[in-house]
């Protein structure tokens, strides 16, 4: 008869994963089951096509950006541990975690969540969202529904509002400031029901 | 060797007589001897005891929490517009028309990640997960070793299912199917009197009843007054090929389907002899007008039996109802919706055609505890003024979903094998663009 402890044994470095991501063992098992469902050919890792096969994801305008967030630059596969680490960004913030200055910041802190969102914009990872990168995201989200001029005017307006040091790009700090009133914990967290 | 056969033969004869007298004959005439009831009571008691033991032993009670939905994560049911409004709420509004904010991307990110963790569609093509174990290894996902007594019970169950129930069920099904072929062929030789129709129905129902016993199926029919009548179309949600047996136990239907070879072909030809069914050649199925015309002709002939159609087009795992294809709703005629809900505690009826072949599926069915299901006959529905086929189909689908306690999804069951169309992504983009540039976006 199968057992939870035997499933946990199949996952490499599971204690480390629990420590690092803060997911409970039960949730890690859920994610492992999901990983196996997505990994249809049982290779032990996922490739972009496996994500592409998720029907609901296919209709998301920024699907490709989200998928590439899982793959480190140059890598074509993602193993289970990386899968969980990326998803850990969306764990609800632990409100009563003791603030230990020596321990590293948890993956699901407000700051790290914002960094995740920032990197969806900043594809060349130079630490700034340039006008071009903003235009690309807008084009993804709006598709053929708007004209080039409308896109440009939206991009200009956005940069004007957010760009405080007038370098025609949005840095992470400016991004963070622009979203300071948004309830990031609510909007960027996924809650498990069981 | 001889001695073996000499001893074996009487055993076989006794066995056969028992089967015929105790199970087959009562089944044919719709009488119940109470054997099945006793079996079910015993089964329920054992499963309850097993659940109790598991719950007592389990410290991680959250795993066994009853969740009404089958969901893994919490999903907001609000729309794109509502969510983005909320995201923008705290910003000072600079323009009256819509606007773009950097936070808009959070909505798409969250829904994207949610669908990576769990999506509404993929999970409908795998078997439903049980809250507590039902002593079948095949449904054992996360259940731990609890106690020796439980293991013994499981072992006893295994022996009973494979040693006693399986041969019994195979015998019954074999008898049922051969009787179907022989009976319908015999009726087919009769000239076309009214008696022929009555006899044909009798033969059909008897054979399906035997087959149902062959699966240890316990079926509860509700609202029998809404049973489909001649000249109508019966529409039901599809979970497995057994749905046909389940429905035909109570009433006679004209089947619709592709012509097959082999055993299926023999059955189809035999059934065709006694009363008209609609079998299509593979090539004919592609011609939609031909299909619709043949179905229409059948429906308009009021002496013919109601047609049975499964508009989803594929097997879904009985937790939801997926898009109904509009073809069945364009024929005209009265639609009789039927909702079928299986009780997963006794056996999982869902046919995962990508995982199991038909034969291994049937074997799994015959080695489950039993098939228990509820069939609700819903009041007849017709297409209303100003309603097109798609809207009509959705209306019928909602009624069935509501009655059966299933989730009503708009996704196409064909997605089991096909890719998602780009038009869905465009729809999302359109909705979002209305929020950004207002209503003067180019359409």
User: Over 90: is that where the pLDDT of B354 sits?
Assistant: no
pLDDT at B144: 59
A166-194 residues labelled b (16+ CB within 10 A) or e (exposed): eeebbbbebbbebbeebebeebbbbebeb
User: Over 60: is that where the pLDDT of B95 sits?
Assistant: no
Selecting from A90, A150, A157 the residue whose C-beta is nearest the C-beta of B113 gives: A90
- Phi and psi, residue B44, nearest 5°: -60, -40
For residue B137, list chain A residues with Cβ-Cβ distance below 8 A. 1
- Measure in Å the smallest separation between the Cα of A99 and chain B Cα atoms: 27
B71: exposed, middle or buried (Cβ count in 10 Å: 0-12, 13-18, 19+):
middle
Best of B62, B100, B314, B320 to disrupt the A interface by mutation (most A CBs within 10 Å)?
B100
Interface ipTM: 0.89
pLDDT at B146: 65
Q: Is B147 touching A (CB cutoff 8 A)?
A: no
Selecting from B119, B142, B442 the residue whose C-beta is nearest the C-beta of A55 gives: B119
pLDDT at A190: 85
CB B353 within 8 A of CB B197: no
Selecting from B106, B122, B137 the residue whose C-beta is nearest the C-beta of A188 gives: B106
pLDDT interval class at A20 (50, 70, 90): confident
pLDDT interval class at B346 (50, 70, 90): confident
User: Cα separations (Å) of B127 from A194, B17, B25, B70, B317?
Assistant: 18, 38, 34, 11, 6
Q: Is B94 touching A (CB cutoff 8 A)?
A: yes
Selecting from B65, B90, B112 the residue whose C-beta is nearest the C-beta of A60 gives: B112
pLDDT at B140: 59
Would you tell me which residues 47-66 of chain A have a C-beta closer than 8 angstroms to some C-beta of chain B?
A: 51, 54-63, 66
Best of A52, A59, A84 to disrupt the B interface by mutation (most B CBs within 10 Å)?
A59
What pLDDT, in 10s, does the model give residues B377-390? Answer: 999 998 888 888 88
User: Over 80: is that where the pLDDT of B278 sits?
Assistant: yes
CB B161 within 8 A of CB B369: yes
With CB atoms and an 8 Å threshold, state whether A56 touches B101: no
With CB atoms and an 8 Å threshold, state whether B433 touches A146: yes
d(CA B103, CA B100): 8
pLDDT at B442: 40
pLDDT interval class at A4 (50, 70, 90): low
User: Over 70: is that where the pLDDT of A29 sits?
Assistant: yes
Mean pLDDT (chain A, rounded)? 83
Angle at the Cα of B63 from the Cα atoms of B62 and B65, rounded to 5 degrees: 60
Q: What is chain B's alpha carbon radius of gyration, rounded to the nearest angstrom?
A: 26
| Cβ neighbours around A93 below 10 Å, total | 16
d(CA B162, CA B367): 6
With CB atoms and an 8 Å threshold, state whether A7 touches B142: yes
Q: Is B354 touching A (CB cutoff 8 A)?
A: no
Half-sphere exposure of B316 (CA within 13 A, CB side): 30
pLDDT at A98: 64
pLDDT at B139: 64
pLDDT at A6: 62
pLDDT at B439: 54
Residue in B with minimal Cα distance to A60: B425
d(CA B161, CA B365): 11
Would you tell me which residues 5-34 of chain A have a C-beta closer than 8 angstroms to some C-beta of chain B?
A: 5, 7, 26, 29-31, 33-34
For residue A90, list chain B residues with Cβ-Cβ distance below 8 A. 110, 113
pLDDT at B339: 93
d(CA B430, CA B443): 9
With CB atoms and an 8 Å threshold, state whether B433 touches A121: no
B345: exposed, middle or buried (Cβ count in 10 Å: 0-12, 13-18, 19+):
buried
Mean pLDDT (chain B, rounded)? 79
Q: Is A175 touching B (CB cutoff 8 A)?
A: yes
Query: Which of A180-184, B262-266, B396-400 tops mean pLDDT?
Result: B396-400
Q: Is A138 touching B (CB cutoff 8 A)?
A: yes
- Measure in Å the smallest separation between the Cα of B259 and chain A Cα atoms: 32
Pick the range with the lowest mean pLDDT from A133-142, B49-58, B155-164: B49-58
- Measure in Å the smallest separation between the Cα of B317 and chain A Cα atoms: 16
- Measure in Å the smallest separation between the Cα of B138 and chain A Cα atoms: 10
pLDDT at B93: 55
pLDDT interval class at A157 (50, 70, 90): confident
Please list, in sequence order, all residues whose beta carbon lies within 8 angstroms of the beta carbon of residue B343, skipping any fewer than 6 positions away: B372, B373, B374
With CB atoms and an 8 Å threshold, state whether A194 touches B67: yes
Best of B92, B114, B116, B416 to disrupt the A interface by mutation (most A CBs within 10 Å)?
B116
Pick the range with the lowest mean pLDDT from A168-177, B68-77, B223-232, B408-417: B68-77
Residue in A with minimal Cα distance to B124: A55
CB B411 within 8 A of CB A55: yes
Please list, in sequence order, all residues whose beta carbon lies within 8 angstroms of the beta carbon of residue B404, skipping any fewer than 6 positions away: B237, B321, B339, B340, B341, B374, B376
Average pLDDT of the segment spanning A151-172: 86
- Phi and psi, residue A180, nearest 5°: -65, -25
Selecting from A57, A66, A145 the residue whose C-beta is nearest the C-beta of B429 gives: A145
pLDDT at B214: 80
């Amino acid at each position: 008869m199968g057992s939870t402890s035997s499933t946990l044994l199949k996952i490499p470095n599971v204690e480390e994963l629990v420590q690092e991501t803060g997911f409970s063992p039960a949730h890690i098992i859920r994610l492992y089951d999901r990983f196996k469902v997505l990994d249809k050919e049982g290779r032990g890792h996922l490739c972009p096509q496996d994500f592409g096969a998720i029907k609901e994801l296919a209709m998301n305008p920024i699907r490709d950006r989200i998928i590439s967030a899982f793959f480190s630059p140059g890598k074509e596969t993602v193993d289970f541990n990386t899968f969980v680490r990326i998803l850990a960004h969306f764990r609800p913030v632990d409100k009563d975690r003791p603030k230990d200055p020596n321990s590293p910041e948890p993956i699901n802190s407000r700051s790290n969540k914002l960094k995740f969102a920032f990197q969806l914009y900043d594809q060349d990872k130079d630490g700034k969202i340039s006008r071009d990168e903003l235009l690309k995201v807008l084009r993804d989200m709006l598709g053929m529904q708007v004209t080039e001029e409308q896109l440009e005017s939206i991009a200009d307006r956005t940069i004007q509002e957010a760009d405080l040091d007038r370098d025609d790009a949005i840095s992470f700090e400016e991004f963070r400031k622009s979203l300071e009133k948004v309830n990031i914990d609510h909007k960027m967290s996924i809650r498990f029901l069981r | 060797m001889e001695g073996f056969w000499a001893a074996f033969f009487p055993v076989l004869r006794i066995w056969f007589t028992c089967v015929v007298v105790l199970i087959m004959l009562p089944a044919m005439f719709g009488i119940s001897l109470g054997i099945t009831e006793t079996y079910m009571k015993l089964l329920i008691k054992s499963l309850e005891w097993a659940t109790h033991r598991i719950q007592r032993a389990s410290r991680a009670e959250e795993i066994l929490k009853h969740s009404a939905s089958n969901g893994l994560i919490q999903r907001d049911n609000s729309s794109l517009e509502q969510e983005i409004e909320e995201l923008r709420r705290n910003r000072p509004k600079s323009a009256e028309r819509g606007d773009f904010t950097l936070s808009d991307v959070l909505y798409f990110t969250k829904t994207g990640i949610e669908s990576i963790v769990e999506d509404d569609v993929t999970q409908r093509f795998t078997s439903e997960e049980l809250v507590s174990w039902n002593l079948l290894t095949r449904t054992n996902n996360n259940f731990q070793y609890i106690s020796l007594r439980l293991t013994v019970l499981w072992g006893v169950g295994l022996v009973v299912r494979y040693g006693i129930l399986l041969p019994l069920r195979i015998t019954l099904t074999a008898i049922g199917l051969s009787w179907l072929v022989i009976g319908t062929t015999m009726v087919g030789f009769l000239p076309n009197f009214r008696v022929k129709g009555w006899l044909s129905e009798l033969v059909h129902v008897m054979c399906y009843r035997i087959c149902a016993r062959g699966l240890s199926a316990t079926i509860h029919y509700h609202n029998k007054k809404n049973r489909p009548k001649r000249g109508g179309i019966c529409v039901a949600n599809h979970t497995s090929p057994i749905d046909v047996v389940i429905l035909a136990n109570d009433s006679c239907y004209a089947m619709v389907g592709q012509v097959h070879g082999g055993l299926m072909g023999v059955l189809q030809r035999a059934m065709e002899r006694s009363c008209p069914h609609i079998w299509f050649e593979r090539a004919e199925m592609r011609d939609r007008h031909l299909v619709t015309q043949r179905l229409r002709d059948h429906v308009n002939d009021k002496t013919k039996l109601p047609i049975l159609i499964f508009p989803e087009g594929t097997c879904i795992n009985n937790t939801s109802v997926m898009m109904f294809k509009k073809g069945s709703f364009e024929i005209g005629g009265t639609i009789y919706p039927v909702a079928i809900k299986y009780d997963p505690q006794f056996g999982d009826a869902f046919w995962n055609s990508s995982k199991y072949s038909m034969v291994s599926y049937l074997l799994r069915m015959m080695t489950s505890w039993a098939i228990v299901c509820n069939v609700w006959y819903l009041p007849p529905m017709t297409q209303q003024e100003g309603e097109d086929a798609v809207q009509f189909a959705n209306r019928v689908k909602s009624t069935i979903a509501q009655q059966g306690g299933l989730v009503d999804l708009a996704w196409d069951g064909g997605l089991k094998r096909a890719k998602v169309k780009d038009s869905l992504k465009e729809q999302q983009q359109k909705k979002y663009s209305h929020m950004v540039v207002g209503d003067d976006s180019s359409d």
